[in-house]
Chain A
């Protein structure tokens, strides 16, 4: 029915997740950290859609779950950006190393 094995899609999702994880942990700019988290959520969505087609019982529910995940990711991006702008107004920086008020 399909020539591509399911593990190829899962491996692609794994690579994208690892890229997002490395970016989220190593980048200093907060906007880039936020968008790396979006990349990780995207990799998870690929997994959901893959199992909705290749799973033991293929059904549309996996795609519905991916849609909910996309919605929550969009809301998270908006709230994250609002927090970032409020922080920038107070601290005049987007460097994640300088946002350490709660450390002291």
Chain B
């Protein structure tokens, strides 16, 4: 196994991502959990750059580590944000859950551990954003427009859901 720079970068990013996830599971303060998850999101953006997907890496940093983290922090601040002592579920329940998750992980790992895909020549890294734009506006134009409708529905729907009820309404 040669230790190329790409391999070292992959190992460091993967380690940071997994550490962020484990911290999410083990910390008790909810604000600290979200800050730990930012590490995971930024490392995943680095993984995308290794996979020659620069535009998705930028979108990941903008949307996940920027927008979704901030919106989750708002959600915590608007609700009870200082109850750190959330009750742990019972031991049997955690054990059962851990067994289920490990069983799932093992079942999927059997499928992927010796998956040997021959590396293909690809041109994804040359003008990545240009390629994405061309594909979006030629082959995938209908889903792209439907996405704008989805975003509008989500915007209006969440405002209506979170709006205060009229007290003396009809």
Contact yes or no, A71 B60, CB < 8 A: no
Closest 8 CB pairs of A and B: A82-B158, A58-B122, A75-B154, A19-B21, A82-B161, A82-B162, A10-B112, A1-B119
A22 to B98, Cβ gap below 8 A? yes
What total of chain A residues lie within 8 Å of the partner, measured CB to CB?
73
B-contact 0/1 string along A1-40, CB 8 Å cutoff: 1111111111110111011111101111101101110110
A60/B154 in contact, CB under 8 A: no
Interface residues of B (CB under 8 A from A): 2, 4, 6-7, 10, 14, 17-18, 21-22, 24-25, 30, 33-34, 37, 40-41, 44, 47-48, 50-53, 55-56, 59-60, 63-64, 67-68, 71-72, 74-76, 78-80, 86-87, 89, 93-94, 97-98, 101-102, 104-105, 108-109, 112-117, 119-122, 124, 128, 131-132, 135-136, 139-140, 143, 147, 150-151, 153-155, 157-159, 161-162, 164
Chain B residues near A32 (CB, 8 Å)? 24, 30, 33
Given A28-B87, A74-B63, 18 more contacts at CB 8 Å? A3-B7, A4-B50, A6-B115, A7-B113, A8-B10, A26-B94, A35-B24, A35-B37, A39-B40, A42-B60, A46-B47, A53-B53, A66-B56, A72-B147, A82-B161, A85-B75, A85-B162, A89-B164
Chain A interface mostly helix, strand, loop or mixed? helix
